[in-house]
Structure 1
């Protein structure tokens, strides 16, 4: 009898331990935020003003929508969210999926919201997307997440007045790297993942890369001095010496082909290391007769898109590019 009670207690303890393990909180790195960046740049750039979350009068906001649920993770059932900002006037509009930066381990989709609202006021449906960061899940989880978000957008296009033939993707810093990789891997099965609206396609028609690396193997990237816990090493699961094929696989430039490469806009800060691979890709695209555009901000602020006056110019250039290529 005592043995049976012991076994039952052990099983209950094991079940509780398992349940706790599944429900442990997702680790969060909050070091990358608008407030922290503002503190860093305010002295040198006193005219910089953080862009605010403010819905324009001609825009309707839909917040915190679940685009997919991951049933089995180390943190239990995991819901991933996005926001939608759509022009209020009747019509079908081009859409822009928007990916935040933060070294693949920090940042939130809320950092894309002011820019999303400004673009929505110019006639785009804009969708800032949450994805799994490296403290929660390594590469390629974020790619699977974003492809799933695109499928959700297409599956729900009618509700939000989206023209599914005119969907583009943008990203800032690490988000730019992800946006470029997602765009250049249209119809590449290994990047699709298996969650969320799997019967719908995830292709996009154009890319806006804001200070995001295209080639981890380019000298401007590969030759950087790194610590073992550097953001790219953490996200890719090891150094280049340890994971050379992964570093290549995660580089958008190696997926660019004359038949599948997309029109791309590069928005650059004064830090050239964030543009690793850009010149090489532009050379390839020129040879193939495909459209590229570069707009440089001569300012030594990496996340310039978070602040006025630079976000205003970012929005204007992005809107003009999208109107040009999403005809």
Structure 2
């Protein structure tokens, strides 16, 4: 309970300190209140503290004029280069914040991964593709500071939940594609990632299985009818090719959050790219926040990364 109280205080402070439009509709508590009606057995996951895990928070990785973007880092004290996980929160591209993934990051760090919870610009502040540029810049920053954070720069995964899953998949499927690389001549490090973990995020915006409408339009800058090219461009499915890294899909039992997954798998199969699908029966969206699904999500994530990285 103490850990949960600290989490809520941190989240409140993050909202209070922001100088930009903030949508607070997506919180761990709001999700809990919503899904507990159909899943009365769920419980919060207490945040563990490990003596061998270092925590460094509110690190500025990017500035846009007076706007600073931050990340929180969690990594082992032992001086050894470990695989890294860049973690993107959910919230319909308009809400949520990096602290929501702290419990997840700490747990993965304890298993030997350098983890980074990333702040990125949400749709009330800046539309697509700003957030994608932010995440790619964060990857470059992590590579630049690899020695400080004990990171093996050849083993970087990008992981996202819900809308963060869509973003993570887009970041990973656009490795090296110039249109998605907002770089300068001073950039010494690439934004390439080596694995994708998509936790219940859609792979295509305009798809028979997709139900994303208003939230997608807000982030993408208009409806499909108004800007079809942008909707297609922002869909990871349309960027999947022979250069896509290994992918882990962890899915709830709600079909609309799998939109485009099977089509993407077909492309991965055609190109001999490794992937895994882990579906959690009778689970709601945002299952990763709560018991009894948290441990299962951690297990699938660590097993996949151990297979492709270690």
TM-score normalised according to structure 1 size: 0.86
What does residue range 122-133 of structure 1 map to in structure 2 within 5 Å? 122-133=111-122
Query: Comparing 242-251 with 290-299, which one deviates more in the overlay?
Result: 290-299
Match of 2:137 among 148, 152, 159: 148
Query: Comparing 39-48 with 209-218, which one deviates more in the overlay?
Result: 39-48
Match of 1:283 among 246, 249, 266: 266
Using the TM superposition, give the Cα deviation of residue 311 of structure 1 relative to its aligned residue in structure 2, in angstroms: 1.1
Residues 85 and 125, structure 1, Cα contact 8 Å, conserved in 2: yes
Structure 1 spans left out of the alignment, 5+ residues: 1-23, 72-76
Residue 202 of structure 1 pairs with residue 202 of structure 2 = no
Match of 2:207 among 195, 202, 218: 218
Counterpart residue number, 1:257: 241
Using the TM superposition, give the Cα deviation of residue 215 of structure 1 relative to its aligned residue in structure 2, in angstroms: 1.1
Count matched residues.
Answer: 293
CA deviation profile, 1:70-104 (whole Å, cap 9, x unmatched): 11xxxxx1000001100122311000000001000
CA change 1:67–1:197 in 2 (3 A) is farther
Match of 1:323 among 300, 306, 309: 306
Residues 93 and 215, structure 2, Cα contact 8 Å, conserved in 1: yes
Using the TM superposition, give the Cα deviation of residue 42 of structure 1 relative to its aligned residue in structure 2, in angstroms: 2.1
Residue 158 of structure 1 pairs with residue 142 of structure 2 = no
CA change 1:99–1:225 in 2 (3 A) is closer
Using the TM superposition, give the Cα deviation of residue 254 of structure 1 relative to its aligned residue in structure 2, in angstroms: 1.1
Task: Give me the whole-angstrom Cα distance separating, in 2, the residues matched to 1:122 and 1:197.
Answer: 34
Using the TM superposition, give the Cα deviation of residue 51 of structure 1 relative to its aligned residue in structure 2, in angstroms: 2.4
TM-score normalised according to structure 2 size: 0.91
Larger Rg: 1
Counterpart residue number, 1:170: 159
Residues 70 and 195, structure 1, Cα contact 8 Å, conserved in 2: no
Match of 1:292 among 275, 281, 292: 275
Match of 1:115 among 104, 123, 147: 104
CA change 1:42–1:195 in 2 (3 A) is farther
CA deviation profile, 1:19-76 (whole Å, cap 9, x unmatched): xxxxx931111010001111112233232122244332221111111101111xxxxx
Using the TM superposition, give the Cα deviation of residue 145 of structure 1 relative to its aligned residue in structure 2, in angstroms: 0.2
CA change 1:196–1:122 in 2 (3 A) is farther
Please state whether the residue corresponding to 1:146 is helix, strand or coil. helix
CA deviation profile, 1:225-255 (whole Å, cap 9, x unmatched): 84xxx11010001111111000000011111
Structure 2 spans left out of the alignment, 5+ residues: 1-17
Measured on the aligned residues, the alpha-carbon RMSD in Å equals 1.6
Counterpart residue number, 2:8: none
Using the TM superposition, give the Cα deviation of residue 197 of structure 1 relative to its aligned residue in structure 2, in angstroms: 6.6
Match of 2:176 among 184, 187, 211: 187
